[in-house]
Amino acid sequence: MTDQLYKTMNDGHKIPVVGLGTWKSEPGDSTYNAVLASINAGYRHIDTARAYDNESDVGRAVNDAEVPRDDLFITTKLWNKDQGYQTALEACEKSLARLDCDYIDLYLIHWPLKELRNDSWRAFIELQEKGLCKSIGVSNFTIDNLKELEAKYGILPAINQVEFHPYHYQKELLEYCNFKNIIIEAYSPLVHAKRMDEPRLVAISDELSKTPAQVLIRWAMQRGMVVLPKSVNQNRIIENFAVFDFEISDSLMKRLDDLDERFVTCWDPHNPPPYAPV
Ligand SMILES: NC(=O)c1ccc[n+]([C@@H]2O[C@H](COP(=O)([O-])OP(=O)(O)OC[C@H]3O[C@@H](n4cnc5c(N)ncnc54)[C@H](OP(=O)(O)O)[C@@H]3O)[C@@H](O)[C@H]2O)c1
């Protein structure tokens, strides 16, 4: 393990800084092939979720890969309909069965469901104590949500996985998480492919002789985050991992910071839907 490729979480476990996203990766061979291609390209970290309906394909690829399970880092997430104490315990067992593995490296509460997130967190603490999940964390949590969890349980998540890219630069949340030693995982780091042709990004990419995707991934790495680009395309999977051999200068980092327009491509925890997503 090199320091360049891994960060150490507040529970002492290491996490690879670039992971393959799998949201909207079709269940079946599409996900299976993408995960195998990523492992062959050097990725050691895969991000899935109960809600993506592809845990079993991720598990199949992980078991078929020529890399030992202990060298891989698998994240999955507790979906809203399973939130609560007992239901979370049971949901974890089911995810483990679908993934066909003995432990999950990182288990996340997918969404801060108001009525149930605290009970879910109580189950997560137990799952970690039992060794079924090596690390536990949350996703889409606001600063207030994190404060509530800390006040109630005193055990902070290792990770908060949130939407993060230069067009949605959540500086205050990043600074709070840095202060609390919670690593931010940047989801939709490629802006869900909605800004690849944006002229200011293209200009910076040209200056660096890198692709817009590589610049977006590298920006998040240099801001101290773990990054989760998704692709099912083998060439893009390789492209998105070729981000360890260059550095973005301070002045270009600042120009990227300035792209912020609070552009949310996914769901917004500060403006949640009137119903709980299920
Ligand atoms: N916790 C949460 O609530 C949450 C929410 C959203 C996402 N996530 C996680 O974060 C991951 C990434 O986010 P995301 O899937 O929303 O979006 P993303 O990674 O920002 O973008 C994915 C899109 O970019 C395309 N793409 C990938 N590499 C590219 C490249 N080099 N050049 C041009 N286009 C490229 C992909 O198409 P192809 O596949 O065709 O290459 C896909 O359409 C998810 O897959 C999931 O694991 C978590």
Binding site membership of 187 for ligand 1 (Cβ less than 6 Å): yes
Q: Which amino acid is at 11?
A: D
**Residue 221 neighbours by CB under 8 Å, 6+ apart:** 17, 18, 227, 243
In this prediction, residue 75 has a pLDDT band, given cuts at 50, 70 and 90, of very high
Would you kindly state where each structural domain of the chain is located, as residue ranges?
6-254
What average pLDDT does range 202-230 have in this prediction? 98
Q: Quick one: what percent of the chain has pLDDT higher than 70?
A: 96
Has residue 29 got a pLDDT over 80?
Answer: yes
pLDDT of residue 227: 98
Binding site membership of 22 for ligand 1 (Cβ less than 6 Å): yes
Q: Quick: pLDDT tens for 98-123.
A: 999 999 999 999 999 998 999 999 99
- φ, ψ dihedrals at 266, nearest 5°: -110, -140
Distance 257 CA to ligand 1 centre (A): 20
Binding site membership of 120 for ligand 1 (Cβ less than 6 Å): no
Has residue 242 got a pLDDT over 60?
Answer: yes
Check whether domain 6-254 has CATH 3.20.20.100, yes or no: yes
68, burial (CB in 10 Å: exposed 0-12, middle 13-18, buried 19+): exposed
**Three-class secondary structure of residue 142 per DSSP:** coil
According to DSSP, residue 107 is labeled E
Q: Where are the alpha helices (DSSP H) in 44-182?
A: 55-64, 85-99, 117-129, 143-153, 171-179
Q: Quick: pLDDT tens for 171-195.
A: 999 999 999 999 999 999 999 999 9
Q: Quick: pLDDT tens for 81-100.
A: 999 999 999 999 999 999 99
Please identify, by atom number, the ligand 1 atom nearest to the C-alpha of residue 110. 1
Has residue 144 got a pLDDT over 70?
Answer: yes
Spatial distance between the Cα atoms of 123 and 121, rounded to a whole number of angstroms: 5
What pTM did the predictor assign?
0.97
pLDDT of residue 270: 85
CA-proximal residue: ligand 1, atom 21 (nearest)? 192
Q: Quick: pLDDT tens for 150-177.
A: 999 999 999 999 999 999 999 999 999 9
Has residue 222 got a pLDDT over 70?
Answer: yes
Binding site membership of 213 for ligand 1 (Cβ less than 6 Å): yes
In this prediction, residue 1 has a pLDDT band, given cuts at 50, 70 and 90, of very low
